[in-house]
């Protein structure tokens, strides 16, 4: 627990124990059961219409056309997208990976278990050359956990932090990289080039940028989700301020096609602009809610000696205000807005308070 959090909790405790923050009469009809009366709630901002975390949603919002990509042939289970000059994206419209063909072989970038057993078939659609290298974007098993099933003995390349995390994971499905780097590594194979670079911890330590300069393609996994809300809690970013900074960094780099590792289509600079705009809005919405929400207002006085309850009550209302603020502008602009907006607001308020 940070010093700031401790100070805050003590403040809440003092508020709850020494100040009558909620009229006792609001609970007078409640016979001390601990349940807050509905009439009391009417005095406070309405609950968002989007079900909160843990509340079952009977129908999610429709996915806008702008978030959809070309269909996947169900018989194949994957779709191949030609990115130009020997570079291809493979996707099942949920995960994305790549391979690069050069004069003597093929370099594979990531092997999501969703379809990794079909990657050799996808490669065989365009070349009979052997797989010689595998690049890991980062250590997460949902992106590289199919590596072992690719077969062969490719040279595996990754960031040194990815090696460390994989040594700890000790997962036979994710063979250890033989070649690691700390800042930059340029892979030259025949006439083809991939530039690997590390921009620090954001999603997780070791998550790298993979640039194909000739094809004007940039692959960065689990940071930007073209047309979609990021996966919950900013795609589980381990460092949210750094995650926001990486979105801005991707924005400034020179590329035409972004491979984000997820969703049904590749991304454009316009998609990254939208992501950055959303990030700015959720940050502003959470910051405003943190300031304008009063601790303890709807807390049952019977819970006044429970600082955890006071904190939970406060943060729930902060997140609710954040969700309400974002809804009008974003609910139809990003697919899956309703699925993860609560998660983003909770992650944002926490980041703003302690990071």
d(CA 243, CA 261) in angstroms, rounded, equals 16
Strand 217-219 and strand 257-259: pairing?
A: parallel
Task: Using the Cα atoms of residue 74, residue 216, residue 277 and residue 231 in order, give the sign of their dihedral.
Answer: positive
β-pair partners for 187: 194
Nearer to Zn ion, 40 or 343 (CB): 343
Please, are residues 189 and 105 in contact by the beta-carbon 8 Å criterion?
yes
Binding mask 116-155 for Zn ion (x = CB under 5 A): ------------------------x---------------
Q: What is the DSSP letter of 140?
A: -
Smallest distance, Zn ion to C-beta of residue 169, A: 13
Comparison of 102 and 198: residue with beta carbon closer to Zn ion: 198
Backbone angle region of 77, left / alpha / beta, with phi > 0 → left and psi within -120 to 50 → alpha: left
Identify the CA nearest to 96 among candidates 183, 249, 213, 224: 224
What's the closest the beta carbon of residue 149 comes to Zn ion, in angstroms?
A: 19
Q: Is 98 exposed, middle or buried (0-12, 13-18, 19+ CB in 10 A)?
A: buried
Q: Supply the minimum distance, in Å, between the C-beta of residue 165 and Zn ion.
A: 11
Q: How far is the CB of 138 from Zn ion (least distance, A)?
A: 6
List the beta bridge partners of residue 219: 210, 259
Q: Which is nearer to Zn ion, 161 or 222 (CB)?
A: 222
* Residue 113, phi then psi, degrees to nearest 5: -60, -25
Residue 115 CB, nearest distance to Zn ion (Å)? Answer: 17
Q: Which is closer to Zn ion, CB of 140 or CB of 159?
A: 140
**Cβ-closest position to Zn ion:** 140
Q: How far is the CB of 112 from Zn ion (least distance, A)?
A: 11
| Strand pairing report for 208-212 and 217-219 | antiparallel
The nearest distance, CB 237 to Zn ion, in angstroms, is 9
CB of 97 to Zn ion, least distance (A): 13
Residues 6+ apart with CB under 8 A from 194: 100, 107, 109, 135, 186, 187, 210, 211, 212
Nearer CB in complex with Zn ion: 86/206: 206
Rounded least distance, CB 145 to Zn ion, Å: 11
Q: Which is nearer to Zn ion, 140 or 317 (CB)?
A: 140
Of 204 and 338, which CB lies nearer to Zn ion in the complex structure?
204
Would you say 222 or 271 has its CB closer to Zn ion? 222
- CB 243, CB 234: distance < 8 Å: yes
Residues 11-40, interacting with Zn ion (CB under 5 A): none
- Residues 167-226 touching Zn ion, rule: CB under 5 A, are 222
Contact positions with Zn ion (CB under 5 A) in 221-250:
222
According to CB under 5 A, which residues from 63 to 92 bind Zn ion?
Answer: none
Determine if 161 is a binding residue for Zn ion (CB under 5 A). no
Q: In whole angstroms, what is the distance from residue 163 CA to residue 139 CA?
A: 8
- Contacts with Zn ion by CB under 5 A: the residue count is 2
- CB 165 within 8 Å of CB 205: yes
Task: Please state, in angstroms and rounded to a whole number, the distance separating the CA atoms of residues 293 and 316.
Answer: 10
* Closer residue to Zn ion, CB minimum distance, 287 or 339: 339
Residues contributing to the site for Zn ion (CB under 5 A) = 140, 222
């Amino acid at each position: 627990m940070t010093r700031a959090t401790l100070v805050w909790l003590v403040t809440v405790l003092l508020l709850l124990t020494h100040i009558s923050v909620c009229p006792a009469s609001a609970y007078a009809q409640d016979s001390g059961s601990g349940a807050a009366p509905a009439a009391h709630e009417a005095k406070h901002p309405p609950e968002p219409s989007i079900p909160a975390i843990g509340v079952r949603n009977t129908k999610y919002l429709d996915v806008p056309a702008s978030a959809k990509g070309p269909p996947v042939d169900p018989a194949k289970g994957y779709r191949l997208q030609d990115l130009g000059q020997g570079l291809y994206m493979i996707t099942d419209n949920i995960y994305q990976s790549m391979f690069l063909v050069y004069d003597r072989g093929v370099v594979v970038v990531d092997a999501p278990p969703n379809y990794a057993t079909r990657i050799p078939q996808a490669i065989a659609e365009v070349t009979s050359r052997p797989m010689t290298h595998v690049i890991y974007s980062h250590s997460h098993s949902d992106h590289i956990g199919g590596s072992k099933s690719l077969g062969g003995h490719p040279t595996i390349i990754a960031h040194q932090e990815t090696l460390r995390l994989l040594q700890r994971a000790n997962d036979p499905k994710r063979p250890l990289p033989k070649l690691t780097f700390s800042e930059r590594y340029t892979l030259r194979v025949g006439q083809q080039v991939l530039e690997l670079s590390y921009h620090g911890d954001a999603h997780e330590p070791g998550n790298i940028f993979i640039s194909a300069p000739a094809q004007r393609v940039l692959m960065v996994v689990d940071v930007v989700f073209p047309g979609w809300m990021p996966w919950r809690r900013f795609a589980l970013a381990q460092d949210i301020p750094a995650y926001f900074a990486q979105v801005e960094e991707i924005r400034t780099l020179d590329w035409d096609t972004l491979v984000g590792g997820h969703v049904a289509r590749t991304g454009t600079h316009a998609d990254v602009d939208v992501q950055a705009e959303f990030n700015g809005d959720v940050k502003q919405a959470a910051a405003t809610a943190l300031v304008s929400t009063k601790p303890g207002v709807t807390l049952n006085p019977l819970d006044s000696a429970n600082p955890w309850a006071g904190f939970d009550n406060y943060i729930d209302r902060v997140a609710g205000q954040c969700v309400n603020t974002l809804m009008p502008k974003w609910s139809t602009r990003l697919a899956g807005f309703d699925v993860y907006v609560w998660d983003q607001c909770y992650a944002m308020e926490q980041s703003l308070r302690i990071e």
